[in-house]
């Protein structure tokens, strides 16, 4: 397992928690318009993910339950 994470990864995680949504990275309104064509970062297009994805959780994980998995 890799250790540590980048600064931007922590910011992105905070954005997801703040917005209670799984959106692309929020660069701010003007940069979002340039990158995404809209002022708010759009949802991550999960239906377009074509690779296997694994979700790991622990028995005492407060953020993920058996139902979520």
The predicted pLDDT at position 1 comes to 52
Here the contacts of 47-53 (C-beta below 8 Å, separation 24 or greater) are none
Supply the pTM of this predicted model.
Answer: 0.71
Sign of the Cα torsion 55, 60, 62, 65 reads positive
- What pLDDT was estimated at residue 20? 93
Quickly list H helices, 6-59: 7-19, 29-36
Per-residue model confidence as pLDDT tens for the chain (69 residues): 556 788 999 999 999 999 999 999 999 999 999 999 999 999 999 999 999 988 788 888 887 777 777
Instruction: State residue 64's pLDDT score.
Output: 77
């Amino acid at each position: 397992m890799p250790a540590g994470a980048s600064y931007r990864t922590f910011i992105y995680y905070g954005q997801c928690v703040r917005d209670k949504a799984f959106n692309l990275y929020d660069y701010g309104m003007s940069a979002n318009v340039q990158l995404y064509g809209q002022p708010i970062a759009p949802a991550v297009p999960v239906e377009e993910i074509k690779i296997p994805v694994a979700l790991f959780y622990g028995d005492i994980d407060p953020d993920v339950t058996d139902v979520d998995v």
